Every structure is written in C-alpha cells, then in structure tokens.
Structure 1
C-alpha cells in the first residue's frame, strides 16, 4: 500500500461531505421556537407576552405586603426580586424553554413559558 490518495478517495470524501450537508440542512431552516410568557396571579391572567429578541419589560405585582418584580429580557423571564420569606421564586432562576415555570406561593403568582417545543426531559412510570 502506498501513502498516496487516489481519485476514488476524493469521491468517497465528497460523498460523505455531501451526505453530512444534506442531514444538517433541515435543522438550519427550522423555524425558531415561539415562546409565550403567561403571568397569572391566583386565577387571573395578569399578562401574556410573546417573547422575542430585544424585548424587555418589568412587571411588578403586589399581594398584601409582598411585592414581586418579574423581568423579561428577550426570550427569557425571571423573578428579579421578591420580599417573600422563602425566596424560592427568585432562586428558581431564568426561564428559557417551553414548559418551565416559576411560582411564588405567598402571592400565588405563576410565571410559565408556553411554546411549540414538545420535547420531554424525562418519563416516570
């Protein structure tokens, strides 16, 4: 065997590269996931926001002595601050994918992301 490449080697490389390109092509032109943020307090929908790059908003909700500040930044949402005792809502972090949610139980505020993404993280039986 010699260490030289033959024309057949180039043909095989070209075919492999063409197949790799064809496999990745559908993923390149796939529409981006559209996300909607739904903010509820109790049973009432306070605000519904269609998330998009460049969109920013700050929502302040109050229930009794407790105030929640929710920040929307592009395609992510988070509880920026809350003066509730346990701070679970703030420690939940930033929501970026469909199906994620953050809840402040003392104020009954629920922030959840709704989208077309139907992937499943895990299945329990």
Structure 2
C-alpha cells in the first residue's frame, strides 16, 4: 500500500499567493487610483496618431487641416465641438458637443481625434446598461 501525498500548503504556496495579491493590488491602483485628473480641462488634438496641439478651453475657433479635409473646431469655457467639416461622412460634426474628461470626437477620413483631458471627474451614475 502506498501512502497518500502530503497536502498541506508549504512556503512556496504562500509565496505564490502573496505575489498574486501584490500584483492584484498594483493593477487595481493603476486602473482606479493612479488617475489624478485635476486642473483645467484641455482639448488635445491628434492627427495621424501624433499630438499636434493642446488647447485650453476658452472662447476660440480653430481650423484643422489634415488628410485633405478641413475641420472647424469651436471651443468655449465648458465644451468643444466640430462646427463644420468637408469630410464625406460628417461623423465628427454629428458627434456634437463634448464637455467631460475622456470624451472624444473622431474624424476618420481626416484622421483627427479631439479628446478632453484634465478637469474634475464627475460621476454621472450608470456607465453602461447590458441586457
């Protein structure tokens, strides 16, 4: 008759469990705790994936020419929108006004992205509804 193996946790099991716990805490901090968004809301304009300019939100109008298209960007103290564009689909114009950090406007034909950064994070309640 053979004897059954020892099934008690050992030092290596404890080390693996500790490593997993430390990595879980580090990941959670990176996702939820490491994003200190403060300061003024800023519009970041990227063309072909390269940041071209950062604009403070104030009464202004900018013209962006990229990919053979012209976009007229409008800024106020609280929001940003594409007022007009000569791109064929007009998705950037139909996106409407953006006013919170993390929101963006994308014009695929011109390869332009306008996104908002900074400012105060506002919890609006429901993030998504499934089902």
Q: TM-score range by the shorter chain?
A: 0.5 to 0.7
Helix, strand or coil: the match of 1:89? helix
**Partner in structure 1 of residue 123 of structure 2:** 119
Distance 2:67 2:103 in 1: 26
Which secondary structure does the structure 1 equivalent of 2:101 belong to?
Answer: coil
CA distance in 1, matches of 2:51, 2:83: 19
The one of 58, 61, 64 equivalent to 1:61 is 64
TM-score (normalizing by structure 1):
0.63
- Provide structure 1 residue ranges, at least 5 long, that are not aligned to the other structure: 1-31
TM-score (norm 2): 0.60
Matches within 5 A, 1:8-27: none
Work out the CA distance in 2 between the residues paired with 1:107 and 1:64: 5
**Other-structure match for 2:4:** none
How far 1:50 moved relative to its partner? 2.4
Query: Aligned equivalents of 2:110 and 2:67: distance in 1?
Result: 8
Contact 1:33 1:117 in 2 (8 A): no
Q: Which runs of 5+ in 2 are unaligned?
A: 1-37
What is the aligned partner in structure 2 of residue 49 from structure 1?
55
* 1:76 Cα offset (Å): 0.8
Q: How many residues align?
A: 91
Greater Cα offset, 40-49 or 90-99: 40-49
The answer to whether 1:89 aligns with 2:92 is: yes
How much is the aligned-residue C-alpha RMSD, in angstroms? 2.3
Larger relative strand fraction: 1
